[in-house]
Amino acid sequence: MTQPQKDRPWLIRTYAGHSTAKASNALYRSNLSKGQTGLSVAFDLPTQTGYDSDHVLARGEVGKVGVPVCHLGDMRTLFDQIPLEQMNTSMTINATAPWLLALYVAVAEEQGADVSKLQGTVQNDLIKEYLSRGTYICPPKPSLKMIADVAEYCYENVPKWNPMNVCSYHLQEAGATPEQELAFALATAQAVLDELKPRVPAEDFPAMVGRISFFVNAGIRFVTEMCKMRAFVELWDEICETRYGVADPKFRRFRYGVQVNSLGLTEQQPENNVYRILIEMLAVTLSKKARARAVQLPAWNEALGLPRPWDQQWSMRMQQILAYETDLLEYGDLFDGNPAVDAKVAALKDGARAELDNLDGMGGAVASIEYMKSRLVDANAERLNRIERYETIVVGVNKWTEGEPSPLETEDGGIMTVDPAVEQEQIARLDEWRGGRDSNAVKEALAALRETARSGGNIMGPSIRAAKAGVTTGEWAEEMRQAFGTYRGPTGVSRSVSNKTEGLEDLRSQVDAVSDKLGRRLKFLVGKPGLDGHSNGAEQIAFRARDCGMDISYDGIRMTPEEIVAAAIEDDAHVVGLSILSGSHLPLVEEVMQRMRDEGLGHIPVVVGGIIPDEDAEKLKAVGVAKIYTPKDFELNSIMADIVSLADPNQIAA
């Protein structure tokens, strides 16, 4: 009997990067030695949003959610002793994708690599940044142009590189339904391909289509998620053939990587997250026709904070056991001909096509950003409503909440913390870099970059030259801001009076009563200080507060403490809410509190939400924060009741 031929395993990755380039390099080399087969680089928020580590907006954010990369020296250190010609590297970078790719190419050339052999991906998807993640810089149209610049450069110079990774991952994290995730991601891909088509000869366009890849999410509803992936495969094949005339099936292949869902990971009973991660991984591995090309898994404790190396190793071992110990890769697709699967795939495709037609009618993805954002906020609100109404059961959260303490949460709190000294050390290295470079070469490189950006040329060539001249991330991004302008995305939260009052009658009455005492409508200001673009929590708090009858003020992400305090003065706020999920809560909240006291606003209650360890919560209370909420506080109505109570002048007087 002939032994069946086994499929190759998917690329096994962990999403990693923290503190410094040197520390991240050590982590990468350690993970590779443990059997990881590809790198997935996490950059810190200043790097993602185009600021150097010493910029005012970078305060408290350096090295927190990823590695800071300010210049060629940082990138050189990040990949020290890692031969880039032999590596498959995924860089989760969007607004500054042209710059980080330029730095990567420059380091590869220093290593003596043949650039044409480099393999990897830059995410480079700005539309989902406007909708869900918030690390955009420039407006949509010039951003789309820069995405095309990268794709054109890669096609001509780095043919094995994926120049754009359509990212539906954060759409699901923002609450997207499967149909919305399918439609919004495919609409994004269409917008990019429409931008690219005039740039290349018609005979070369199919091959360029073949380099577009996707990065998706797999949630806990295993059957639905697996069917969603099969629907993605079929819809992409259909779009490539009918919309773009791609005849060769290999160029129509749906090529995707995945990180499974982090939205559903719980702070309560966090050890249960191991099972959630495994089940979610099965959705993108069991079905051969929908199997991911690369998989990266979160760690069990990501709802608590930054995973430790052991936690990441545990998630990597989960992949290795499935890929190498089981017989999964010895068989064809296990779900072909299954009537339940076929019916679900057909239903998802119908729903996605209807939404795609709707977006096409509005002028495509770029023209529909505000609409898509509002739909995501609505969908996320309904998701939370189902949990609060116990229609969706989340183990350990709204059912079976009693349990034994987790032995995995050891004396270090079960997470890794970044030393606050890292920021000043990084700034010192940045100062040293600036002092040691050729200032004339930097000026000439920036002038060439400026001229190319303003004339409409491809920015990749001058970006690589700027990288080699010693230009910094902040300097590169500032040229893009000057050439193309900056942008503030829609919040998806309307300030108009809400008619969504079901189940909120008591709260609305309480808001009315307190508003009468205050002499005007209770004013609640929601602010997001710093660079954290994870806005789901802030949006849902503002959304529910509006539905409860409060007068809300929420201007979106990326506010300085000074701007938030100025808004509190202008709005005459009764309560201020701050949302920070990047781990920078201590310095940012402390600065807001100090500025409020300096402005005579020390009497205004401040509440804070985020991933906040108990030790940090005590420090925040010590500087005057009235209430602190973490992901375990899922009952929004309880939070609303707290806000009403804090605003009550009788309570304040007491």
Residue 71 annotated among the catalytic residues of the structure? no
In 3D, which of 121, 113, 122, 106 has the Cα closest to residue 84? Answer: 113
- Show the beta-strand stretches assigned E in 61-175: 88-92, 119-122, 161-162, 165-167
Look at residue 36 and tell me whether its pLDDT is greater than 50: yes
CB 591 within 8 A of CB 608: no
The active-site residue, picked from 28, 104, 153, 169, is 169
Find where tokens 């495969």 sit.
Answer: 233
**Sign of the alpha-carbon torsion through 416, 421, 427, 429:** negative
User: Lowest mean pLDDT: which of 157-171, 227-241, 298-312, 373-387?
Assistant: 298-312
Interior CA angle at 130 toward 129 and 136, to 5°?
60
pLDDT greater than 90 at residue 416: no
- Contact (CB, 8 A) for 126 and 95: yes
The burial of 641, by beta-carbon neighbours within 10 Å (0-12 exposed, 13-18 middle, 19 or more buried), is given as middle
- Percent of the chain with pLDDT strictly greater than 90: 84
Asked if 57 contacts 112 with a C-beta cutoff of 8 angstroms, the reply is: no
**Phi-psi sector, 400: left (phi>0), alpha (psi -120 to 50), beta:** left
Q: Mean pLDDT throughout 220-245?
A: 96
From residue 21, give the alpha-carbon distance in Å to each of 42, 117, 459, 481. 11, 24, 26, 26
**Tally of CB atoms within 10 A around 446:** 18
Average pLDDT over residues 28-38: 91
Active-site pick, 15, 136, 153, 629: 15
For 317-339, what is the mean pLDDT? Answer: 96
Question: H or E segment at 260?
Answer: strand 256-260
Lowest mean pLDDT among 1-10, 180-189, 310-319: 1-10
Q: Encoding tokens for residue 604?
A: 């205004």
Q: Which of 14-23, 116-125, 192-201, 414-423 has the lowest mean pLDDT?
A: 414-423
Q: Give which of 539, 435, 441, 449 is closest to 492, Cα–Cα.
A: 539
Give the closest residue to 174 by CA, choosing from 135, 134, 216, 132. 132
Beta bridge partners of 161: 120
Q: CB neighbours (10 Å) of residue 27?
A: 18
Q: Is 532 a catalytic residue?
A: yes
Among the listed residues 46, 38, 40, the one whose alpha carbon sits nearest the alpha carbon of residue 9:
38
Q: Which of 204, 79, 106, 107 is CA-nearest to residue 151?
A: 204
Tokens of 512: 């009315």
Q: What is the pLDDT of residue 634?
A: 86
Q: Return the residue matching tokens 């040229």.
A: 479
Positive or negative torsion for Cα 96, 449, 459, 160: negative
In this structure, which amino acid lies at residue 348? L
Cα radius of gyration rounded to whole Å, the chain: 25
Q: Which of 534, 574, 585, 627 is catalytic?
A: 534
Residue 411 has pLDDT above 80, yes or no: no
Catalytic residue among 74, 125, 311, 532: 532
User: CA nearest 308: which of 640, 19, 72, 88?
Assistant: 19
> Two tokens at 567?
């808004």
**Which of these, 10, 406, 489, 373, lies nearest to 218 by C-alpha position?**
10
- How far CA 544 is from CA of 36, 196, 560, 627, in Å, comes to 43, 41, 24, 17
**pLDDT above 70 (res 498):** no
Active-site residue, from 128, 528, 574, 627: 528
Residue 2: pLDDT band with limits 50, 70, 90: low
Question: Tell me: the pLDDT tens digits for 577-629?
Answer: 999 988 899 999 999 999 999 999 999 999 999 989 889 999 999 999 999 99
Q: pLDDT at position 453, please?
A: 97
CA distance 181 to 383: 15
170 is known as an active-site residue: yes
534 catalytic, yes or no? yes
Question: Is the distance from CB of 256 to CB of 214 less than 8 angstroms?
Answer: yes
Mean pLDDT computed over every residue of the chain: 93
Residue type, 274: V
Residue 387's SS3 state is: helix
Sequence letter at residue 13? R
Model pTM score = 0.91
Determine the pLDDT at residue 459: 98
Please give the full DSSP string across 389-405, using - where no structure is assigned. TTSS--BTTTBS---PP
**pLDDT tens digits, 83-137:** 999 999 999 999 999 999 999 999 999 999 999 999 999 999 999 999 998 999 9
**What pLDDT is recorded for position 650?**
79
Instruction: Kindly state the DSSP code that residue 603 receives in the 8-state scheme.
Output: T
Contact (CB, 8 A) for 150 and 118: no
pLDDT digits (tens, 9 = 90+) for 623-640: 999 999 998 888 999 999
Residue 252: its pLDDT value, please? 97
Distance CA 427, CA 432 (A): 9
Active-site residue identified among 170, 373, 523, 585? 170
Instruction: Please say whether the beta carbons of 500 and 192 come within 8 A.
Output: no
Q: For 57-80, what is each residue's pLDDT tens digit?
A: 898 899 988 999 999 999 999 999
Contacts of 234 (CB under 8 A, 6+ apart): 345, 349
8 A C-beta contact, residue 624 and residue 601: no
- The stretch 188-208 carries a mean pLDDT of 93
Q: Report d(CA 642, CA 626) in Å as an integer.
A: 10
Return the residue matching tokens 């545990």.
314
Bridge partners of 167, per DSSP, are 215
